[in-house]
Every structure is written in structure tokens, then in C-alpha cells.
Structure 1
Amino acid sequence: MTLREQIDNAKRSVSTDELAISIGEIGSMYEAKELHILPEFQRLFRWGPQKKSDFIESLLVGIPIPPAFAYEREDATWELIDGLQRISTVLEFQGLLRDPDNPDKLCDPTTLVGAKYLPGLDGVGWVHGGADGKGIGKELQLFIRRARIDFQILKYPSDATTKFDLFQRLNRGGAYANAQEVRTCAMVLANEEATRKIREIAKSEPFRTVFRVNEDQSKIQKDVEYAVRLLAHASKAYEGKLDVEEFLDKAIIELLQEDNWNAFLDDAVWSVETLHAIDGDKVLLPPKNIEFKTVERFALRSLEVIAVGVLINASAIKALPKPEEFVRERITKFWMQTSALEGMSGAGQRGTTRWGKTLPFGMDWFDPRSAK
């Protein structure tokens, strides 16, 4: 295929539109649920009072604002995939933003603080700013409502891979704290229902216990990252060509596009619940009495050998007379494999190098047909 043919094919897979939409229209679309902003999958309040006030100042002064990005869903509504902080800031300031924890309730309207060019914004609200604050006034309300934000729209239909690629390019190096936050939003674009179930698995008590996830880790989606690692490794073979993040991105999106994703996630639930029943938050930790010198803490090595090994072999293990006893015995014997453990550890060892040792070992070790 020539370069020109490649360009033509790529253009056919991407259909976009560009619109300048007033903040008043944005508010109306949001209230009518014609614009969805994904707060369930993103951290809604990343900006503090100062950044929110700086953005309102930009609208009032006329400082250029980067475009927002949305994709058109099958029902013709829009899903916001870039610009969450900007859009949520103007909605919250007007008192229109729904509480992400209680959609029937509205968030309290923002009270601004002084900004660089407009120090007089300090204490100002849409109607009034707290007990001693003041409203921005009808004239400036209209000015803000008539201000426009450029929107880039990815038109329906566009395949999940295209949406995923565009989203990653938009957000690489942007406002997201880590790769998993970008990945989660891209997963929503590929399959929202499956992503919701993965998130439920990651937030479940058995999962959080087995993988020793604390509240601070949960806030940055470490629990979801562990779930993605488990699912990606158990569903797709690593062929050595991609780095860690590239493989996780590619593998999880491919899984979400398969017809059997629901059954696979059910196996993942069974695997995690089985591990939880065996030894709770210690099931992935090395015992204190093993000869191999290692710190008694959760490590990705344990996820890759034990959790992934159990999930890959879930169907065969469930067919055994006593599945839980089999898994318990294999975990106990695994920690006695000193030479194998030494090869899976070591300071400075790349994740992809470790995968070449942990993943094949776990797949074979928990296979009832090859277990000794």
C-alpha cells in the first residue's frame, strides 16, 4: 500500500467536525444530558480554587482557551474526552454541575479568588460568593454565557481504536496524573459497560485486600491499574515488541472489543475471590520462613505469577474436585522455588524483562495438567 493510500484509508476512519459553542449552550446541553463529562472515570476536581479562578479570568479578559474534544455517541449525545477541568469549572461556577457521588444533587457553586489581572474576583460568585461575598452581576453573567469554547467533535461512527489513539495523543503529557487515568478514559471509549465492570472489580473488597490497595492508591487508580495488568496478561501474550504501558494499552483495548469479555471478567472475579478466601491480604506475600531473601510486601512479581497464573487456568482449576486447595498448595510450593524466584527479582530489572520469566512460569505452574 502506498503512502497516499494509507493516508486515504486513515482519513476514512476519522470523521471530525469543529464548532464554537457558547458556555450558555454548554450548560443547556449538560442539563439536558446531551453532554456527558465522565466524572465517574476521571478525577473531577483536579483544579483548585486558584486555577478555576484563573480560567474564569481568561474568559472575562479574552485570553485564548484550548479547544475541548468530544466524541459523538450512537444516540447523538456527546462524550467529553478532553477539557474536563475547563468545562466542569464553568458549570460549577454557574451552579449547574452535578455531584459525581450523588447525581441528583448539585455541587455548591464556586466562590472565586483573586487572579493576576482581576484581583477583584476575590470572593465573587455567580450569584453571591459565600456569606460575605458578592455576585458577579447580570452583565458579566451574560458575557460569560455568550463566551465561546471551540469543540473538536469525533463524529459517529468512529471505531474504538481511532477514539483510543486520538484520546491518547490529546492527553499524553497533559493534565492527567498517570498513564492509568488516560487509559481508563480510553477504555470507556472502547467499551463503557466493560470498563464499569472492571472498575467494580478493582473497587471490591476482595480485590483491594488481595492487592493491598489503600485509599491514596485508589485515588490515583492504582487498583484499576492492577486489574488491567491482571486482565491484560491473562488474555494476551507479550511478544516483546512493546514497552510496559504500550502493551497494557493495546492488550486491554483488544480484550474490551472481544465478544467474550464478560465471561472473562467473571473468571477474574472468581480468581480474586479464591485468592482472597485462601489467605486474604497475605496471599500474594512471600512467607517469612522461606530461604530466598525478600521483603514481605506485595510485588508485581506475585501478581504476574500467582494472580495471572490462576486466571489463565481458571476453567481447568474450577473443574478440579477441590479448586481452592489446589491453588493454596501451588502458592505454598511456589515460594519454595528459590532459583526461579531469584531470576524474577533484582534491582534495575525492567518490567518487560521480568515478564519473560514470571508470566510463562505462572501459566505453567497453576496448570493442573502440568502441576507436580
Structure 2
Amino acid sequence: MALGISEIIDEKIGEVRFEALDLSFGEIASLHTQRELVIDPDYQRLFRWSEDQRSRLIESVLLRLPLPQIFLIENQDGVLELIDGLQRVSSVLQFIDSALLKLAPLKLDGCDIIPELNGLLFSDLSLSVRLSLKRTPIRAVIIKKQSKGFLKYEMFKRLNTGGSILSSQEIRNCSLRMLDGGAEFYSNLQSFANFPHFMNATSTLSDADREQKVDEELVVRYFALKNGRDLFKGSVRDWLDKYLEQILVEEHNFDWESERLIFNELFHLISQTFDSGAFVKYRDGKPIGALAPAYFEAVTMGIMENFEVASSLETENLRLRVTEALESNEFRGQTGPGANSRPKLNKRIEIIADAIKA
């Protein structure tokens, strides 16, 4: 007999085990020092908060203003990892003892309720105020090690989706680590993003894009284009998430060695042919602007799916065929508004493929 909704809910509730407790900032600092609590910038990069934001957080703690709860996961060895709340925790730890995070001391600046705090270091405060700060508790929710990996993964995604300061790929990278095999998958993903010819071909990415892991997202997009295009339904973020979940949750086979060979050969050819102008718009045969994802999709797949023909062409001939196609009205008609649809995606790839085979 099929389970009812209430039974299904009860069953799922049992798959996530957690406990909530109050931890003082002094206790958090001690746990981190003893390596019983990992504060890993791979989850959320340290200090996108400005100095003013960090200072106002310290001011809020001193005033006993309510703070949002933080989330930690318990690893199999019992060590805790902070997965949500790094900005808050790191701001306080930097102020209390900057050596804990190997950062410069935080001098308060931007406090507007108690402006007298501005310009002060932790050591400038009285003993009673220092102790009060260290003893201030914050509610911590700990996801226990007995919880199922996929639900921990989903929790992180939902905590950090919508109004988040993290990019989609940063959330994806952190979420992956909660799945069996996810850490290894992410390590391999990074190695692909660091392949010299890939780095050269994507060198028109801005520093801000690289900081937000857009280069790693392009590697994921390449794999999804190559192996999971049928999953695409208009939302790139959902598509890439679904593709990775198929590999790691549903355990679809992924042969890293064969994929690495294809990837290296493809981007070696692309880099050799276009240098840094591989995935940009063209005007009068000249590359313009920054990397455009729609152009990345079309060029990588158009060449990969016709690699034998493409690699047999003279470098200048291949470059001319592809750039003329990219500059055509037909191709441009498949970009811009409404470009994130499967028919337009397939048409862009087809245009580049036809140009190569012409």
C-alpha cells in the first residue's frame, strides 16, 4: 500500500538528524583552535563584508541584539564544519583574535549606535567588555553525521539560494562536498578549470567572474552540454544542478580519464585557433567584449561534435569559418532575449557545426 503524505513527511523528517544549542564566541574560537570546528572559506569566501559591516556586527553583539542562527554539519569523525554563517562568525573571531584566521587585526569603524567604539581594537576594550563579547552565545544548529548526504546537500542549497551573496557555482561547489564522492568530483573539476589551454580560451572572464568561480561553472556547463543536454529546460542553474545530481546522487557513470582526454584536446585546438577570442562576439572579424556563455556553448559543442573535421582544417581557415558564423545575423538571432531555450541552444550549435563542415 502506498504511503500517505503524512507518512512520507515523517519518513523524510527522520532522515535529517540535528541538534540546536547555544555556543559562545569564545567556545567557537576554542573549537576552531583545537581543529574540532572547521571554518572553511571554500564554503563561503572570507570577508565579502566591508569593514563597516563587520564593525556593526561587533556592535550588535555587544548590544545583545538578536543574531541569526548558524548551521554546522558533523563529519563522520565528529568534527564540525561551518556551512552557513561564516561572515558573522569570522567577523567576531577576527576581532577577538585575528591570528585564528591569519588576518590583520580588525579595528572598528562604522559603529553608529556606539560611535565611541570606532577606532578601537579588541585589546583596547576593558576586561569586562572583552569577556562579555567572548561569552555572548549564538544559536547553532548542528546537522548530525547520521543524516543522509542528499538532504544535507539540499539543505545547503536552500539556505544559500535567493538573496545570497554566493554565486550559483560557489553554492554548487560547497553543496557537492556533502555528497559521497562530491569532494573528489570538485577536485577534478578544479583541475579542468586550471588546464592552461582552457584558461587561455576563457581569459576574457573578468577577475570578478573568476572570483565567483564562473570558470568552474563553465566546465560544468561544458559537461552538461556534452552529456546532459536533454535535461535543459530554460534555467541554467537548475540544469547544471540536475546534471551534477544525476552523477553523484543517481550515480551515473562518469569516466574522468576519457573526459580529460577529450577536454584537453578540444581546448588545445580552441586556444590554438582563437587564443583569447574564442567565446566572444565579433565585429568586422575582430573579437569584442567579454566571454558570452551562449558563444561558449556554441563554439565548444560545434567544434567537439565535428572535431575530426575541425582539427583537419588549417588554423586560419577554422578561425574564419567560426568567426563568420558567430558574426552572422542567423547566429545573432539565436542569442539575446529568449536565448535560454533548448531549440535556440541547439540551433546555435548547429550553425557553428554547419560552418565547420561547409
Query: 1:166 and 2:166 equivalent?
Result: no
Instruction: Evaluate the alpha carbon distance shift between residue 204 and residue 54 of structure 1 in structure 2; reply closer, same or farther with a 3 A threshold.
Output: farther
1:27 is paired with a residue whose SS is helix
Matches within 5 A, 1:319-334: 324-325=311-312, 332-334=320-322
Q: How far did 1:66 drift?
A: 0.5
1:306 aligned residue: 299
Match of 1:247 among 239, 244, 255: 239
Distance in 2 between the 1:36 and 1:301 partners? 38
AA partner of residue 72 (structure 1) = E
Report the count of equivalent residues. 346
Q: How far did 1:205 drift?
A: 4.2
Match of 2:334 among 334, 344, 369: 344
Matches within 5 A, 1:84-233: 84-96=86-98, 106-127=102-123, 135-190=124-179, 191-211=182-202, 212-233=204-225
Distance in 1 between the 2:222 and 2:132 partners? 50
1:102 aligned residue: none
Q: How far did 1:360 drift?
A: 6.6
Q: How far did 1:162 drift?
A: 1.6
Instruction: Evaluate the alpha carbon distance shift between residue 165 and residue 43 of structure 1 in structure 2; reply closer, same or farther with a 3 A threshold.
Output: same
2:233 and 2:341 in contact (8 A); partners too: no
Query: 1:22 and 2:24 equivalent?
Result: yes
Distance in 2 between the 1:150 and 1:296 partners? 47
2:72 is paired with a residue whose SS is strand
2:298 and 2:348 in contact (8 A); partners too: yes
1:355 aligned residue: 345
2:31 and 2:37 in contact (8 A); partners too: yes
AA partner of residue 299 (structure 2) = I
1:45 is paired with a residue whose SS is coil
1:83 aligned residue: 85
Distance in 2 between the 1:256 and 1:92 partners? 36
AA partner of residue 78 (structure 2) = A
Of residues 297-306 and 164-173 in structure 1, the stretch that sits farther from structure 2 once superposed is 297-306
Q: How far did 1:137 drift?
A: 2.6
AA partner of residue 278 (structure 2) = V
Distance in 2 between the 1:360 and 1:16 partners? 50
1:275 aligned residue: 270
Q: How far did 1:286 drift?
A: 6.2
Residues 332-371 of structure 1, C-alpha deviation per residue, up to 9 Å, x if partnerless? 54455558625523x3223125324335777x7699xxx6
What is the TM-score when the length of structure 1 is the normalising length? 0.79
Aligned-residue CA RMSD (Å): 3.3
What is the TM-score when the length of structure 2 is the normalising length? 0.82
Distance in 1 between the 2:151 and 2:322 partners? 42
Instruction: Evaluate the alpha carbon distance shift between residue 12 and residue 310 of structure 1 in structure 2; reply closer, same or farther with a 3 A threshold.
Output: farther
Q: Which runs of 5 or more residues in structure 1 are unaligned?
A: 100-105, 128-134
Q: How far did 1:254 drift?
A: 3.1
1:223 is paired with a residue whose SS is helix
Of residues 325-334 and 222-231 in structure 1, the stretch that sits farther from structure 2 once superposed is 325-334
1:238 and 1:247 in contact (8 A); partners too: no
Residues 304-341 of structure 1, C-alpha deviation per residue, up to 9 Å, x if partnerless? 12224556x5xx95xx6x98446966665445555862
Q: How far did 1:39 drift?
A: 1.0
Instruction: Evaluate the alpha carbon distance shift between residue 256 and residue 276 of structure 1 in structure 2; reply closer, same or farther with a 3 A threshold.
Output: farther
2:281 and 2:292 in contact (8 A); partners too: no
2:230 aligned residue: 238
1:176 and 1:182 in contact (8 A); partners too: no
Instruction: Evaluate the alpha carbon distance shift between residue 361 and residue 114 of structure 1 in structure 2; reply closer, same or farther with a 3 A threshold.
Output: closer
1:278 and 1:324 in contact (8 A); partners too: no
Distance in 1 between the 2:14 and 2:268 partners? 45
2:279 aligned residue: 284
Distance in 1 between the 2:205 and 2:100 partners? 28
1:59 is paired with a residue whose SS is helix
Residues 90-144 of structure 1, C-alpha deviation per residue, up to 9 Å, x if partnerless? 1111224555xxxxxx2122111252332221122122xxxxxxx1232222212
Distance in 2 between the 1:272 and 1:327 partners? 16
Distance in 2 between the 1:204 and 1:47 partners? 31
Distance in 1 between the 2:287 and 2:264 partners? 29
Residues 211-263 of structure 1, C-alpha deviation per residue, up to 9 Å, x if partnerless? 22232322233222322222222231234545222112222343355453633
Percent identity between matched residues is 25
Distance in 1 between the 2:196 and 2:143 partners? 37
Distance in 1 between the 2:127 and 2:289 partners? 62
Distance in 1 between the 2:36 and 2:186 partners? 21
1:32 aligned residue: 34
1:88 and 1:97 in contact (8 A); partners too: no
Distance in 1 between the 2:221 and 2:339 partners? 16
Distance in 1 between the 2:200 and 2:104 partners? 34
1:164 and 1:189 in contact (8 A); partners too: yes
